[in-house]
Structure 1
Amino acid sequence: MELLNDMALFVEVVKAKGFRSAAEALGMPNSTLSRRISGLEKAIGLRLLHRTTRRIELTEAGQIYFERCKRIVDEARLAHEQLGEMLAQPSGVLRASLPVDFAVTYLAPLIAEFAELYPGITFDFDLTPRRVDLVSEPFDVAIRIGELADSQLIARPLASLTPYVYASPVYLKRCGVPGEPEALARHECLGILRAGAWHLSDGQRSATVPVAGRFNLNSVGMIRRLATLDRGVILMPEEIVADEVASGRLQRILPDWYGTPTNVYAITETRLLPAKTQRFIEFLRERLARRA
């Protein structure tokens, strides 16, 4: 790379017909430019320029070298421009692992917008509950919610989701509307993997409420569905239940209280990402921050 840079400097000196004019155009000290060209001559073992106090002249070898350097530098600049165009419109298959309910409920319209922006990208999504192995499996990125296990993977924060308390109108009519967090202990609460307690806050006070119910599941979608079927109270980010709230199948209760925020991450195996993956992560971060 340094040799190519020195070749480009040599071309500029010849075009400017002198070190001073070239140095001014390049925005670098005249002495530095002269030293770089002298170093180039030593590196290739050829005298390229005759230097006088008033001007420079190409040697015979310098003329041949200049023509070849100009062709190489021009080709390199063209390749750089083409690379920039390719990065501006990345292409290829984007393989991503996504959390099922969050992807279907919340990410789907964002992914549709991203696909519209980058028509050269095709998509291969895995929405199974399993945690894919980014090292041994051919995934570009995984979107994950919640605490991450210690690993050598690269985690880029995308957003923070705050959970609120919801129940169906029918359930609330049958069992009553809790007025304080402590009242949840007397309700059917639908939890993930036997959470045991919900930690709530209103910004000034906090409450740890023991919760129990007939259902304990490891599926956010199933918990949400059971809540719409009047089976109990849930603590869930509003992004996950937005459709149910909009349709009236669920309503928010204890409106001043919220649970512990949960982080959303983009996980990759390396920091050196292809353009398609970089654009996808940047797009999600920008859109999720806008909705926060």
Structure 2
Amino acid sequence: MDPFRNMDIFVEVAKAGGFRLGAKALNIPISTVSRRIAELERDIGLRLFKRTTRRMELTDVGRLYFERCRRLVEEAKVAHEELTTTQGNVSGLIRAMVPIDFSFVYLNSIVADFLRLNPGIRFELDLSARPVNLVSDPFDFAIRMSAPTDMGIIARKIAEIPIGLFASPEYLAARGTPRTPADLLQHDCLLLSEWAWPWRLTPATGGEPVYVNVEGPIVTNNLGSLIQLAMKHLGIVLVFSERVRPEVEAGRLVPVLPDWEPTAASVYVLTETRLLPARVRVFINYLIERLAVVTR
């Protein structure tokens, strides 16, 4: 029996939670996956998966075997990539989940430049802020704008992005322009669910921060929608300053409380393991370097 022959297939199927998704991740026919898993179970003499008409899950023995095999497979893949990387540029597929507004403002140009430097790389980007399971979902990493609560995830803070308060001139003409953070309590504020509130504002000249329990008519998980609603004169929005630069230059939005600075948005890279393939590690390092320049 070759104990390594089918180990990588078993790990991918276990991570994906099924033969079909495992076959897709491996880019091989599902019939091959089924045959190789059956061969592995026959070789070791133990049932690794419980199969029903509706679902498939690991047996107790399968879970134990998965925990042992996963690290071996990851280390073997990393070792292989380390050798191939020394011979030239990185190559292969990078899968990531990224918030759409972060991608729009920062990531797209960084990915484009990275691809020019590394033409052997391909990307699959899921532009979403939905919860991610980095064990079962087929992503190498995720980017989030808040620290994760899942203690099993490795989170690395890679940047802080300046944010500001903005509103349309028409809204301010109708409702008045806030002069102090406390004035925000008399205004409609458009809220992003991914960012915590109360809003924390610090004097630009230095001093103690002020916390304001803002309220408003709309809470959403999409920053682009909030910007559109702000331009329809519905309230004050807290947003990446760079995200609304064209709107500010065109006069469709204007800064609010420019002498006060909201707390910068923290950017985190989430991974399931510290043992990253070379292509992923090289890109994340490139991303950190570029963000350090564009978010100054």
Aligned residues of 2:144 and 2:269 also touching (Cα < 8 A)? yes
Amino acid at match of 1:207: V
Name the CA shift for 1:83/1:177 in 2 (closer, same or farther; >3 Å).
same
Q: Which residue in 1 is equivalent to 2:201?
A: 200
Amino acid at match of 2:291: L
Displacement after TM superposition at 1:230 (Å):
1.4
Q: Compare 250-259 and 202-211 and name the one that shifted more.
A: 202-211
What is the Cα deviation at residue 106 of structure 1?
Answer: 2.3
Runs of at least 5 residues in structure 2 that lack an aligned partner in the other structure: 1-79
Q: Residues 188-224 of structure 1: CA distance to partner in whole angstroms, max 9, x if unpaired? A: 1111349663221112142222322222223222112
Structure 1 segments of 4+ aligned residues over 4 angstroms from their partners: 79-82
**Structure 1 residues 168 and 80 mapped into 2: Cα distance closer, same or farther (>3 Å)?**
closer
Answering whether residue 282 of structure 2 is matched by residue 287 of structure 1, we say: no
TM-score (norm 2): 0.66
Deviations 1:270-291 (A, max 9, x none): 1111121011101110011112
Task: Give the counterpart letter for 1:140 in structure 2.
Answer: D
1:84 & 1:101 partners in 2: Cα distance? 32
Decide which structure has the larger Cα Rg and report it.
1
Paired residue type of 1:211: V
Determine if the alignment matches structure 1 residue 216 to structure 2 residue 219.
Answer: yes
Q: Do structure 1's residue 181 and structure 2's residue 145 form an aligned pair?
A: no
Structure 2 vs 1, CA of residues 217 and 209 (structure 1 numbering), >3 Å: closer, same or farther?
A: same
Equivalence map 1:230-245=2 (5 Å): 230-245=233-248
Is the 1:164–1:237 Cα contact (8 Å) retained in structure 2?
yes
Instruction: Give the distance between the partners of 1:252 and 1:235, measured in 2 at CA.
Output: 10
| Offset at residue 263 of structure 1 (A) | 1.2
The root-mean-square deviation of aligned C-alpha atoms, in Å, is: 2.3
Residues 82, 196 of structure 1: alpha-carbon distance in 2 compared, 3 angstrom cutoff: closer
Corresponding residue of 2:277: 274
5 Å matches for 1:87-236? 88-193=88-193, 197-202=198-203, 203-236=206-239
Write the deviation string for residues 66-91 of structure 1: whole angstroms up to 9, x where unpaired: xxxxxxxxxxxxx99973444x4111
1:52-67 to 2 correspondences below 5 Å: none
Match of 1:267, SS state, is strand
Pairing 1:238-253 to 2, within 5 Å after superposition: 238-253=241-256
The DSSP-based 3-state class of the residue aligned with 1:158 is: strand
Unmatched 5+ residue regions in structure 1?
1-78
What is the SS of the residue equivalent to 1:241? helix
Change (3 A) 1:214 1:143: same
Counterpart position of 1:41 = none
Farther-moved stretch of structure 1 (268-277 vs 234-243): 234-243
Provide the rounded CA distance (Å) in 2 between the counterparts of 1:217 and 1:225.
12
Check the 8 A contact 1:90/1:121 in 2, yes or no. yes
Give the whole-Å Cα distance in 2 for the aligned partners of 1:80 and 1:205: 49
Q: Give yes or no for contact 2:81–2:278 (8 Å, CA) kept in 1.
A: no
1:244 CA displacement? 2.5
* 1:199–1:169 Cα change, 3 Å: same
Q: How far does the alpha carbon of each residue in 1:237-292 deviate from its partner, in whole angstroms, 9 at most, with x for none?
A: 21332332233322212112122222101111111111210111011100111122
2:81–2:277 contact (8 Å) kept in structure 1: no
- Contact 1:94 1:122 (C-alpha < 8 Å) held by counterparts: yes
Amino acid in structure 2 at the alignment position of 1:262: A
* SS of equivalent residue, structure 1 residue 234: strand
SS in 2 for 1:136: coil
Name the stretch that deviates more: 143-152 or 235-244: 235-244
Aligned length: 213
Measure the CA separation in 2 of the matches of 1:288 and 1:101: 15
Closer/same/farther in 2, CA of residues 247 and 284 from structure 1, 3 Å limit: farther
Classify 1:85/1:196 alpha carbon distance in 2 versus 1 (closer, same or farther; 3 Å): closer
**Structure-2 residue corresponding to 1:263:** 266
